[in-house]
Chain A
Amino acid sequence: MSYGFGPGRVFRALFVSIAFLVVAACSGSGDNLDNAQTRAVPGTPQHFVVTVGDRVFFQTDSTSLTNASKATLDKQAQWLTQYSDFQILVEGHADERGTREYNLALGARRATSTRNYLVSRGIPANRIRTISFGKERPVAVCDDISCWSQNRRAVTVLEGQTGT
């Protein structure tokens, strides 16, 4: 988590804890999700993660956005239009089943296709920067497809608000 900087670092730490709640909610009763939604103050990064979803997923070796991904990004664009103060970092990630250099480039491609989609939905290009982590930052660490598919992702990180 040391690669964000400025306010982004704090937000990302928050995202991690929220993300755990979301995962727990998926496998549990849903109470946690309700709680998280209750707690999330509108216009905050937590609110973005909980109500919109900060990530989209990709097929193996693919950078195409699925319909589900596009639906998520549509919601992201809406939220980001409403709360237009945030600078945005799109992180591209790959799963561990590729070589290191290729995966760095693949992560960049995923971040770029995500960024381009957000721009096509009205987010100014100069609000968004991208970074690739290749296969260096998996979120799921088991050894089967269920994990690898969670790691093939682009994550929209709110970096900080302009003028604050």
Chain B
Amino acid sequence: MEAALMQPGSGDRGGRAPIWCKVVTIQFAILALLGGLLVRPGPAFAVLEINITEGVVEPVPIALPQFVDGSGNLGDTARQVIDVINANLLRTGLFDPVDPAAYIERIENIDVAPQFDDWRKINAQALVTGRVTLQGDGRLRTEFRLWDVFASQQMTGQQFVTDTSNWRRVAHVISDAIYERLTGEKGYFDTQIVFVEETGPKDARVKRLAIMDQDSANMRYLTNGSDLVLTPRFSPSNQEIAYMSYGDGFQPRVYLLNIQTGERGIVGDFPGMTFSPRFSPDGQRIIMSLQTGGNTNIYTMDLRSRMTTRLTNTAAIDTSPSFSPDGSEVTFESDRGGVQQIYVMGADGSNQRRISFGTGRYGTPVWSPRGDLIAFTKVASGRFLIGVMRPDGSGERILTEGFHNEGPTWSPNGRVLMFFRDVPGADGGPQIWSVDLTGRNERQVSTPSFASDPAWSPLIN
């Protein structure tokens, strides 16, 4: 049987670098054999499919029985893996996990087809079965199958072999496979969030960079709080973070931090404050703002040649630049017309044009990884809103609004946004929230204390 291998990580410091986490998913070799066992051959294509574009009204009932313990001593892992999958799918708002108390069949062998009638009776439309086994070499093998209950058909099946400590990542990878097979969209579970963790009173906040899995697990700090740090962003490879730090206290600057080695350095030698960094889609350049005197303009710096290029040249505030996913264009905010508005320009600074024309101020534009939308913070009538519009400025849609919502970041599949929400008052502080592109399914993202400036990593697997 072919196995998909995940190499063990380089200890706790390790980020989720593709170097060691590259996962090649391979269909079960026994899939073909299993087809012969099916009682009722299904149609050529499974009928179970979730359309997430329109916003799902009814979540799909899915049965997620505990994985089979293939070794007799992996009961905890078998339970934990399905718990993580369950929580992932539940948070999407697209799935409705069936109460395990209603299960009729007890899954004891995943190599045979389940009793579909038993699952149809409890109205589970999808069923996931799986098994964890400790191999002779001490590694953990995790297998799963996704079944279309009403078509009596396997939709997908994969297995992963990895270090036992990676069980949580396996659960995320399986969640992604289930999500992708049922929605037709890439998942976003094997991802991380980098953010600014905030402690202390409002007038003397200590801010530290922190990184965690998208489900809030495995949080750890990347900086120690001695320097004020803001606006962390992932590199496309997930290996580096660009952020702004007050560092030596002389002038705040953009820094790069290698997640695995902890190595950090200043990006470029500029005569003023540099801030609001983001990577280009190819990871070769940083785009950021440089303030000189009262003006702020947008520059790129090539990380290899260190060559800098000026993209805007105004006596205004031009900031929050974000590349389109194909790298050909940049969206940014500028107050060159009097108030903060969103603009788009070519990646060489050409053809600068305003795209936001609604009432209020628009800032922090972020291009969707799909390229079809730009998310933004809008300030209108003293309220702070998160919304999206098309890159030509049409189709503005507000996803959430309130006293203070700011700084959207996209899930890698462009279906979910995280942002931070602050509350008024001396004791208040920001928290990270997520909302679907449909405007539904608003949820707080759990962090140990106050948290702001979230940035969602690309998909790791």
Tell me the A residues contacting B by CB distance below 8 Å. 1-5, 61, 63, 96-102, 104-106, 108-109, 112-113, 129, 131-132, 134, 136-143
Contact = CB atoms under 8 A, between A and B. Distances in A.
B252 interface: yes
B317 A106 contact: yes
A3 B249 contact: yes
A105 B428 CA distance: 25
Interface stretch (B167-175, B291-299, B443-451): B291-299
A99 B250 CA distance: 23
A61 B335 CA distance: 11
A53 to B, nearest CB: 20
B340 interface: yes
Nearest to A151: B203
Contact of B320 (A101, A112, A141): A101
B202 interface: yes
Contact of B319 (A4, A102, A113, A137): A102
B294 A136 contact: no
B425 interface: yes
Interface in B234-254: 244, 246, 248-252
Main secondary structure of the interface of A (DSSP, over half): loop
A136 B379 contact: no
Interface string B430-458: 00000000000000000000000100000
Given A96-B422, A108-B272, A108-B273, 16 more contacts: A2-B249, A97-B379, A98-B363, A101-B320, A101-B333, A104-B276, A108-B294, A112-B294, A136-B207, A138-B202, A138-B203, A140-B203, A141-B201, A141-B426, A143-B424, A143-B426
A99 B379 contact: yes
B291 A137 contact: no
A104 B273 contact: yes
Given A2-B226, A108-B291, A141-B426, A101 B275 contact: yes
A104 B428 CA distance: 21
A158 B333 CA distance: 34
A102 B317 contact: yes
Interface of B: 201-205, 207, 226, 228, 230-231, 244, 246, 248-252, 272-273, 275-276, 289, 291, 293-296, 317, 319-320, 333, 335, 339-340, 363-364, 377, 379, 382, 404, 406-407, 422, 424-426, 428, 453
Contacts of B424: 143
30 contacts: A3-B246, A3-B249, A4-B249, A5-B248, A96-B422, A98-B379, A99-B363, A99-B407, A100-B406, A101-B289, A101-B364, A102-B319, A104-B230, A104-B244, A104-B252, A104-B291, A104-B319, A105-B319, A108-B272, A109-B295, A109-B317, A129-B250, A131-B251, A131-B273, A132-B252, A141-B202, A141-B203, A141-B425, A142-B426, A143-B424
Contact of A99 (B204, B228, B377): B377
Nearest to A113: B294
A63 B317 CA distance: 12
B320 to A, nearest CB: 5
A101 B228 contact: no
A140 to B, nearest CB: 8
Contacts of A141: 201-203, 425-426
Contact of A105 (B296, B377, B422, B453): B296
B407 A100 contact: yes
B405 to A, nearest CB: 10
Nearest to B363: A99
A4 B246 CA distance: 11
A131 B294 CA distance: 11
Nearest to A140: B203
A132 B273 contact: yes
Contacts of A105: 275, 289, 291, 296, 317, 319
A99 B291 contact: no
Contacts of A143: 424-426, 428
B50 to A, nearest CB: 35
Contacts of B244: 104
A6 to B, nearest CB: 9
B249 A139 contact: no
A102 B291 CA distance: 11
A39 B434 CA distance: 54
B205 A136 contact: yes
Residue among A1, A4, A100 facing the most chain B CB atoms (10 A cut-off): A100
Contacts of A112: 293-294
Nearest to B420: A100
Contacts of A63: 294
A113 to B, nearest CB: 6
A102 B231 CA distance: 12
B361 to A, nearest CB: 8
Contacts of B204: 1
B317 A100 contact: no
Residue among B296, B379, B407, B453 facing the most chain A CB atoms (10 A cut-off): B296
Contacts of A134: 230
B319 A101 contact: yes
B230 A102 contact: no
Contacts of A140: 203
A139 B203 contact: yes
A98 to B, nearest CB: 7
B425 A99 contact: no
